[in-house]
Structure 1
Amino acid sequence: MNQDRTTELVPFTIDLTFEEARRRAAVVAALGPDWDPMAVLRGEDEAYTLLYSGLDADQQRAYDRLVAAGVLPDGDPGRAAAH
């Protein structure tokens, strides 16, 4: 016969706040002092613009539908998709 032994369990909790702060500090340290987040964002915006430039009419219609559906972000720099 199976007995309910959940009353014998000892609650276990852990606060990950310190570990998350340590992890984030390690990431920033690994990026180094020359890391420029604004330059990275500008580069991503330029790459996005280049990726979707020069589309033919069918490709542009498909792109427009995907933007309207929220699958792809609109052309505004730094914008994420709606969904």
Structure 2
Amino acid sequence: AGDAVFTNIDIGTADSALSKGGTPPVGLAGNFGQEADTAVITNLRQRFYSTSAGEFHLTGMSLNLKFDGSECFTTITP
């Protein structure tokens, strides 16, 4: 578990629509990504496909990327 603060975040955006990083956006059809103006992350964790917010505060958040279809973790602690 950890903490994260994102400013102007978009999660679940189609790869072709990502605009806050390098240009042009690169990705395979059907893929998605996330981007924010700023991010401060300590000990991060997440389990959602799409989220948008003007400012996004997540206490106890965790993020781990897996490419084999398995979940990154099995429990969520409030």
TM-score range, shorter chain: under 0.3
Q: Greater relative contact order (Cα 8 A, min sep 6): structure 1 or 2?
A: 2
Q: Of the two, which has the highest radius of gyration?
A: 1
User: Would you tell me which structure has more helix in proportion to its own residues?
Assistant: 1
Q: Scaled by the length of structure 2, what TM-score is found? A: 0.20
Q: Scaled by the length of structure 1, what TM-score is found? A: 0.20
User: Would you tell me which structure has more strand in proportion to its own residues?
Assistant: 2
